[in-house]
Structure formats: C-alpha cells, structure tokens
Structure 1
Amino acid sequence: MRLPVLPAALVLATTLAGFSAAQAQDAAAGEKVFTQCKACHQIGEGAKNAVGPVLNGVIGRPAGTYEGYNYSPANKNSHLTWDETTFRDYIKDPRAKVPGTKMVYAGVKDDKKVDDLLAYLKQFDATGKKAQ
C-alpha cells in the first residue's frame, strides 16, 4: 500500500502552525514572570500605586499618565504609548529606552518571558478586571 504524498505547502503550513503555537504567549507563565515586578508594581482589582505605578490597562496607555503616581520627568515627557513593541524595548532595558527614568531594573532579556509577561498584563483592563 502506498501512502499519499503531501504537498510541500501543506507540510510547511503544518510545521509553521505548530511553531507558532509553541511560541504563543502564555499568561500563566507571565504571572510567574510578574512576581519579580511585584516588588514595585501592583495589578488587578484593588491595585494601588507603590514604588511603581499600577499596571492595570498599561498596554495602550500613554507613559507617565497613571493618576496619582509621581513619575520622573523623563517618563512623563517620553511621549511613549505602551504598545507591545514599546513595552518590549522598555522592559529589556528601561534606562536605555527612557534615559532618566527612576525605574531601577536590569530588565527581562528573554523574549519568551517578555511575550508571557505581555500576555499576563494584557488580561487586565484599566479598572483591574481580568478578561475572561
């Protein structure tokens, strides 16, 4: 019995689909990455400003604008909006992205951890409610 030969395009598509799934953002893993952020930041319902600002709804928010937090002039005047690309650059090396920021953090260098952290953060709307 002869097995059917799959077209190369189908094999490639199946392989790429599997690769994409393996590279997908993982919010549960991102919650673990966030444990290092908890020293300064809060997220979720009831979150309050601490050493750093609340991170509810951070993706899509202009930098330096969370009410009640005393941002550095560098952050307030950065003219950044926290989209995925900007956040990725910032979290890898905050002081390189925003010279003069008061965020003292070495950064997350691992791309997968950054992906997962983004997935975790994106779950929370501006009020701290977690998307279902």
Structure 2
Amino acid sequence: MNTFEFNKIAAAVLAGVLIIMVINEVATLAVHPTYPEETAYAIDTGDVASSEVASNDVVAGPSIGELLASADPAKGEAVFKKCAACHTVEQGGPNKIGPNLYGVLNSPKGAHDGFSYSDALVEKGGDWGYNDLDLFLAKPRDFIKGTKMSFAGIKKDEDRADLIAYLRTLGKSDVPLPPAE
C-alpha cells in the first residue's frame, strides 16, 4: 500500500469522526429532554420512606466556614494559576477574557467596570460572598446557567477554599470569615 492510499484511509476516518461529532452537537442543541415533576409510579420499599434512604446515603462535606478556617492563601495563589489564563488580580489591572478579580469578594456580581458579563450573571444579582464563590468555582455552569465562563470548575473543596482565601487577600481581607458549622 502506498502513502496515497494511506492518506485516503486516514482522511475517511477523520471525516467520519468529524461527522459524528457534528451530528452529536446538532442533536444536543435540537433535543431538550423534559422530565416529569413526579415519578410515574411509586416503588414500594417496605417500611423505610425513600427520603430516609436518600438522606442516609448523602454525606455532607465540610462547610465553607470550616474549610476557610484552615485554608492557605499561598496554596490558593498556586491554584490561581489555572485562572491566570483568563483573569488578572493586580489592583487596577486589565481585564482579559475574564474580568480582573482584585477585590472580588463582597463585590456585586457582574459589575466590574469595562467588562461585558453574560446576562445570566448580571441577572443573578447579589454580591460575591464566600458561599457563592465556593459554589461558582465548583461548577460555574451549574451555579449560573448561561454564564460565559467556560471553566469546568475546581473539584476539591480544599483547593476552592485556598483560592477563596487567596482572593480575600486581594483588597478584601477585612471581610469576616463565615463561622465554621
């Protein structure tokens, strides 16, 4: 087999993969599944109510207050390197793909001068408190549906707490930490 034949085969495989990816994206955009608010039928589980079973299975993690009590801003600065591609943190620093984050703690959501926020973020309203920052950094698209932020999120609770502790050192260290519960 010569290289021309190999090129044709490789092009066919790549074209097939590309077609499958395009079809998948189109299908995702076209179909919006809806789910019923109530179950269609109840499953008899005996004496134990389903809500009791669910509450026993869920393990609640530490609160943001507990995590921040032991958070390390120096580690948070290292975690921030993931964010530095899109954000700056210098006082009066420029916006990049994302807004400058200096003094973000307790600042209004979607209100940094000179940055064009998504409508969803502006409509969310309120200030960036500790809990909101924690939830947003965990999964931005789950916390604010329609946000422009394409970052997947920070999974580890401790890493998020360290990052929030670092952001607190940037002009907002006077904001009291939430109580550990």
Indicate whether the TM-score tops 0.5.
yes
Q: Secondary structure at the match of 1:114?
A: helix
Letter in 1 for 2:126: L
Structure 1 gap ranges (5+): 1-19, 127-132
Candidates 163, 166, 170, aligned match of 1:117: 163
What CA RMSD, in Å, does the superposition of the two structures yield over aligned residues? 1.7
2:89 is equivalent to residue 39 of structure 1: no
2:147 is equivalent to residue 101 of structure 1: yes
Candidates 106, 109, 119, aligned match of 1:63: 109
2:131 is equivalent to residue 80 of structure 1: no
CA distance in 2, matches of 1:47, 1:74: 25
Q: Which residue of 2 aligns with 1:49?
A: 95
Q: Secondary structure at the match of 1:113?
A: helix
- Give, in angstroms, the shift of residue 80 of structure 1: 3.2
Aligned residues: 106
User: Any conservation in 2 of the 1:80–1:86 contact (CA below 8 Å)?
Assistant: no
Structure 2 length-normalised TM: 0.56
Identity across the alignment (%): 37
1:6-62 CA distance string (max 9 Å, x none): xxxxxxxxxxxxxx79x6110110000000000100002342111000101111011
Letter in 2 for 1:30: G
Segment of structure 1 superposing worse, 34-43 or 80-89: 80-89
Q: Which residue of 1 aligns with 2:137?
A: 91
1:69-99 CA distance string (max 9 Å, x none): 0101111111131100010001000001000
Structure of higher RCO (CA pairs closer than 8 Å, 6+ residues apart): 1
CA distance in 1, matches of 2:154, 2:122: 22
Letter in 2 for 1:92: A
Q: Which contiguous aligned blocks of 4+ residues in structure 1 show a shift greater than 4 angstroms?
A: none
Structure with more helix by fraction: 2
CA distance in 2, matches of 1:46, 1:62: 17
CA distance in 1, matches of 2:159, 2:83: 13
Change in CA separation of 1:45 and 1:79 when aligned onto 2, cut-off 3 Å: closer
CA distance in 1, matches of 2:81, 2:90: 13
Q: Secondary structure at the match of 1:35?
A: helix
